[in-house]
Amino acid sequence: MKANMGLVDRGIRIAVALVIATLSFTHVIEGTLEIILLVFGFVFVLTSLVSFCPLYTIFGINTCKVKK
């Protein structure tokens, strides 16, 4: 797997996952929506940690800075 996520992209994904987790723990979101959003949050954290997003590969997106 070649990294295809830049630092800003990874930071945004982590921030979104933290917001989802906070909304879940404060019971602002509940039920099926909560489960779906928590799964998305988990995927966001996982892809941020490995710096690779499979969807980016499919769509040809790369937010990593090119090393010279």
Structural domain of 27: 7-59
Report residue 39 as tokens. Answer: 């799964």
Rounded to 5 degrees, φ, ψ at 4 are -135, 15
If one counts the domains in the chain, the total is 1
C-alpha to C-alpha distance for 68 and 63, rounded to whole angstroms: 15
pLDDT digits 0-9 by tens, 12-29? 999 999 999 999 999 999
Is 44 a member of any domain? yes
pTM of the predicted model as reported, rounded to 2 decimal places: 0.86
- 3 in Cβ contact with 51 (< 8 Å): yes
Q: How many CB atoms lie within 10 A of CB 46?
A: 13
Residue 64 — very low, low, confident or very high, per pLDDT cuts 50/70/90?
Answer: confident
Is 16 a member of any domain? yes
Is 20 a member of any domain? yes
